[in-house]
Amino acid sequence: MTVSSFRTGAAALIAVASAAALAVTAPQDPAPGTAASGLAGQHQQLRAQLAASPFGRPIVLQSADSVQHPHGDVFAEVRHPFATVRSSLQAGQAWCDVMLLQTNVRRCEVAGGAGTPTLRVSFVRKSEQKIDEAQQIDFRFSTQAATADHLALQMTAASGPVGTSDFSLKLEAVPLDAGHSFLHLSYDYANGVAARLATDAYLATAGRNKLGFSQTGRDAAGHPTYVTGIRGVAERNTMRYYLAIEAVLAASGQPAAQRPEQRLANWFAAIERYPAQLKEMERANYLAMKRQDLQQSPH
């Protein structure tokens, strides 16, 4: 939750934290097929929630209200064959495509060997800042599974600005039928003392009116009310990255030369569906900025 852009330094710090991978793993890797069957089992458990999703499509968003360890999960059915999901997302460059859709990411390049490449991502505190003002964070990209029925990927970064650490962005996917797949996106990070102070400052100022997606009840007029605070931060970041993944998948069927522009259009259209939570700039400004970023990021 997996990186978003906020217009203050503390906001950017929170957004950067949405882009990395689980730092703590189980002592022993699961046997082949266990992880895939586990995700398929989660799909069965969530079928009722997916069918009744307030998003109007089969998406379940979960989050943790923790200042020390903000965390978010998206479970979703997508209208893409599993082979498309696997081929579109298993390479490091695909995750640079995901990252570059975010308004606080100005550059991304893949470096290192094919086995465990590094994603060099340049983050800014404010969207109007230039690349030479950005902070570069290196993410280790790794593939845990890329089989006929299971995809598992993660990005990891051990440390970041102002006391944050253990950034996490992890994706798993399994096939549902010939035309649909089930995805689980998970993000979290750890807040040190300095990071918690920055988060508190952000939530008391620029972020005080920011909303998440989970409903907490209804107001006196009968309108739904939503989570705020650090849980709202976790939900916004998680959704931004999930919608970026959707945008990459939806553009995968286009000719290669048309995909970058299509990804931008897809992502902005997606966040406009949730203006109270996600919209931060006008479409023309976003497209102009991102076209420039794409020109400056190697492919």
According to DSSP H, which parts of the chain are helical? 9-16, 34-45, 47-51, 82-89, 92-100, 193-204, 229-251, 259-272, 283-296
> What does pLDDT average to over the chain?
83
What is the domain-level CATH number for residue 242? 3.30.530.20
Report the distance separating Cα 9 and Cα 6, nearest Å. Answer: 8
Which residues fall within 8 angstroms of residue 275, CB to CB, at 6 or more apart?
none
Q: Is residue 4 part of a domain?
A: no
Q: Is residue 180 part of a domain?
A: yes
Q: Is residue 248 part of a domain?
A: yes
Boundaries of domain holding 47:
9-24+33-296
Q: Which of 22-36, 187-201, 222-236 has the lowest mean pLDDT?
A: 22-36
Report residue 9's pLDDT band, with 50, 70 and 90 as the boundaries: very low
**pLDDT tens by residue, 146-176:** 999 999 999 999 876 656 788 889 999 999 9
Question: Treating both helix axes as pointing N-terminal to C-terminal, what angle do 92-100 and 259-272 enclose, rounded to 10 degrees?
Answer: 50
Instruction: Say how many residues make up the chain.
Output: 299
At 15, which amino acid appears? A
The reported pLDDT for the residue numbered 24 is 30
Say what the alpha-carbon torsion angle 195, 201, 203, 207 is, to the nearest 10 degrees. -110
Q: Evaluate whether 225 touches 218 at the Cβ level (below 8 Å).
A: yes
Rg, Å, the chain Cα set: 18
Find residue 271's DSSP bridge partners: none
Q: Is residue 235 part of a domain?
A: yes
The reported pLDDT for the residue numbered 173 is 97
Q: Is residue 158 part of a domain?
A: yes
Average pLDDT over residues 199-217: 73
- Cα angle 60, 151, 59; round to 5: 10
pLDDT higher than threshold 50 for residue 8: no
Q: Is residue 262 part of a domain?
A: yes
Report the distance separating Cα 118 and Cα 110, nearest Å. Answer: 6
Q: How many CB atoms are located within 10 Å of the residue 47 CB?
A: 13
Closest-CA residue to 271 (of 248, 244, 297): 244
At 27, which amino acid appears? P
The reported pLDDT for the residue numbered 114 is 67
- In degrees rounded to 5, what are phi and psi of residue 219? -85, -175
- In degrees rounded to 5, what are phi and psi of residue 116? -135, 75
Phi-psi category of 36—alpha, beta or left, where left has phi over 0 and alpha has psi -120 to 50?
alpha
Q: Is residue 3 part of a domain?
A: no
Report the distance separating Cα 157 and Cα 292, nearest Å. Answer: 26
Q: Is residue 116 part of a domain?
A: yes
Q: How many CB atoms are located within 10 Å of the residue 29 CB?
A: 11
**pLDDT tens by residue, 30-84:** 444 566 789 999 999 999 999 999 999 999 999 988 888 889 999 999 999 999 9
Q: Which of 20-24, 65-69, 204-208 has the lowest mean pLDDT?
A: 20-24
Domain count, the chain: 1
Report the distance separating Cα 144 and Cα 285, nearest Å. Answer: 38
